[in-house]
Amino acid sequence: MPCISFSQELTLDYIFQDTNIVNPRPSLKFINQQTSKIYYYADENYDGMLSLFDMNYNTGESFKYSDSGETASEFILKTNGDAVTIINGDLFITKNFTASREFTKDIKLTETDKYEYSPLAISNFVVYRRAGNYFLIRYDSLKKNSVELALTNDESDSISYQIIEITDKYADEPDCVLRLFIARYDNSSKTPILIPDYNSTFVKTERRKRGISNVNLLEYAVYTIGKDSLFCKINEIIYPSNIRYSTAYADYSSDGRNLLLDAETLDRHERKLFICNIKSKAIKEIYTESDAAWFERHSNPTVFLDSSTIFFESEVSGFNNLYSINLDGSGFTKLAGGNYTITESAIDHTNKMIYFSANAELPYNYNLYSLNFDGTGFKKLTNSDGDIQELKLTQGGSVLFFTHSYITQPNELYSFTVSSGNVKQLTNTISPKFTEVNWNLPELITFNNKEDGQLIYGFVYKPLNFNPKKKYPLICFVHGAGYLQNVTNGFSPYRDNFMVDTYLTQKDFIILDIDFRGSMGYGKDFRNKTYRNLGYWEVSDYISGIEFLDSKGWIDINNIGIYGGSYGGFVTLMAMFKHPELFKAGVSLRAVSNWKNYYYSNWWFTLARLGNPDSTGVSEFYEQSSPITFSQNLQGHLLMTHGMLDDNVFFQDMVQLTQKLIDNKKDFEVMFYPKESHSFYRQTSWLDQYKRIYNCFEKYLK
């Protein structure tokens, strides 16, 4: 095996240079089975700019589309090789795009002063948006268009719409050419929240509305009149109860006779499947499940396998598995699953096959699997370390596309040929700036939580010249999002922290990164342990991990630090405030310090985990889960950073906690970033922040 030479010395300036060293990853946009081509975006020049490519997935021949000349800001590739395009704000049909490889204006569909955007194409109809509203137009090959039909006309600051599903099939009504399922949101009851911007001569404020909308579910039936006109009838769909449901998925049956609705209560404690008969308008509940805490959605859709069988994911077994049920609610069957998580799936209706990714053998490895519609014929299709995501099938089901990544290799596009089982890497676009660094591969560890015995998975990053007889200062990294898995053999969603971990180990720190309670990939009991007690078990898992490393003799138990962003910042604060005897230094980035604040900015996340703070008996759960409640206990050194334009975790969280720490005469530092939101986008801000993180740990842990 040839020796690999790594020439680049790693510094924070190198990691956070002007152009990201982890350049944008390839993303598959369209598949055209007739020409055996895929269309994807990739950064071939490693400059942070995505370009459009097509590739023959059989031969590997690729073509890069020029960025010069007139290009489409958005386009949809149709199966016949044409494309629906937005060029200079107007809507066109580009004929034979797959052959010409040019965005031509062969059929002009709109010509307005305002921009069209977000097109959807089905048969010879195009649905698009203008100034927030939806419109519909029909065209033919002779360049004749129908008169534009306005589907909605009252989009405003208080009213918005979302097309959830569309079909051009309806067997019982031949004059109906399209059916659309649309949600109308009335946001007038939401609370307006102001986000100040201090970067101009005078302070500006951006107004955002947050809260729960009132929703009307509308089923549009579109009819044609002669050659040029369209009209529609609108029927409101009302769930058979007064409960406010959120519709996660909707799907028309292949014959168009029924509409499948997958709905959940806003607190995500209850979920139901409904069938709406289009002709009679009758709605029937066919399935229900509930959870004492809350359930999470993954990326497996709820759809018809055929006109009488429904496919969906569920956690009723304790893990996210795949199920089917009949149209009348009978025949509930597990198709695939066990004590593992199925994250994504792709359905081949032609050959009646289901493909999915799961961590079936090991929690930290995701591979591809397949089975028949009836649950038979289970097969493992890949056997590699890493993570598999973004599954997409050709129309006939002959080739499955996906992205694959490894710890030290950001994701690339791959193909799996069903007939031969051949796996092929299609793209190779990782920047040399990344590959020239000798990245530190972590060591996988497992340990049991000392309080309840739960098995925890983690990564330990050791210094390159690790000496098992030396005790090193330890830094705990805490991932964000709450429900996310970071201990996998795939490339970390926290790529910056992965790179910084290598840098920190060069400075003689050990890094501990664990999938604490609440993380994805380990089942709902593992996640729901945190219900109405956020921050307790997460920190408990870290303490058990620290004690495990201490038992190995690797760490200096008197020099423990912790840091993380968003949810990771919240856990950092809880660790610093509730266990000051252990954590000597901490850095919280964009952290939630008061969950009541976050409820009013992001009810969806908080309502499921803690409940409505305005309800009787709920406020105590918010108090015991909020770091600000315990801030008077701070003993170690704390650094807090936050973007002032943050519209997720508002800047007020850090402001209020700062005042509380001042009142309690605590030792801490703050750094705010006037031009940044929740996720920073300026490399100078990232660099400044991580220099402060490093300096904090260097000063207080050594």
Q: What is the 3-state secondary structure (H, E, C) of 577-639?
A: HHCCCCEEEEEEECCCCCHHHHHHHCHHHHHHHHCCCCCCCCHHHHHHHCHHHHHHHCCCEEE
CB of 596 closer than 8 Å to CB of 611: no
71 vs 181 pLDDT, higher one: 181
* pLDDT at position 4: 57
Q: What does the pLDDT average to over 308-330?
A: 97
Mean pLDDT of the chain: 95
What Å distances lie between residue 154 and 157, 162, 200, CA to CA?
10, 13, 33
CB of 177 closer than 8 Å to CB of 223: yes
Domain contains 594: yes
Overall pTM > 0.75:
yes
Q: Please give the Cα distance from 95 to 80 (Å, whole number).
A: 9
Q: Please give the Cα distance from 695 to 698 (Å, whole number).
A: 5
Number of domains in the chain: 1
Token pair for residue 448? 């049991």
How would you classify the pairing of strands 270-277 and 258-265?
antiparallel
Give the pLDDT confidence of 177-206 residue by residue, as tens digits: 999 999 999 999 999 999 999 999 999 998
Give the pLDDT confidence of 220-278 residue by residue, as tens digits: 999 988 777 899 999 999 999 888 999 999 999 998 999 999 999 999 999 999 999 99
Domain contains 506: yes
Across the chain, which distance is largest between two alpha carbons, in Å?
A: 86
pLDDT band at 439 (very low <50, low <70, confident <90, very high): very high
CB of 342 closer than 8 Å to CB of 549: no
CB of 490 closer than 8 Å to CB of 405: yes
CA nearest neighbour of 510 among 697, 699, 695, 686: 697
Helix (H) or strand (E) run with residue 539 in it: helix 536-552
What Å distances lie between residue 284 and 171, 251, 260, 266, 329, CA to CA?
21, 15, 10, 20, 9
Q: Please give the Cα distance from 409 to 385 (Å, whole number).
A: 11
pLDDT band at 69 (very low <50, low <70, confident <90, very high): low
CA nearest neighbour of 48 among 76, 17, 78: 17
Domain contains 343: no
CB of 123 closer than 8 Å to CB of 95: no
Please enumerate in sequence order all residues whose Cβ is within 8 A of that of 242, keeping only pairs 6 or more positions apart, or say none.
none
Range of the domain at 467: 438-636+646-666
Domain contains 562: yes
Domain contains 321: no
Domain contains 361: no
Give the pLDDT confidence of 565-596 residue by residue, as tens digits: 999 999 999 999 999 999 999 999 999 999 99
CB of 60 closer than 8 Å to CB of 87: no
* pLDDT at position 70: 77
Q: Residue for token digits 């009307």?
A: 216
pLDDT band at 425 (very low <50, low <70, confident <90, very high): very high
* pLDDT at position 1: 42
Token pair for residue 522? 């380990």
Q: Examine the pLDDT at 393 and tell me if it is beyond 50.
A: yes
Please enumerate in sequence order all residues whose Cβ is within 8 A of that of 320, keeping only pairs 6 or more positions apart, or say none.
296, 298, 300, 313, 314, 337, 341, 342, 343, 524
Domain contains 677: no
Count of all residues that appear for the chain in the document: 702
For 34-43, 152-161, 457-466, 480-489, which range has the lowest pLDDT when averaged over its residues? 152-161
The CATH number linked to 465 is 3.40.50.1820
Domain contains 349: no
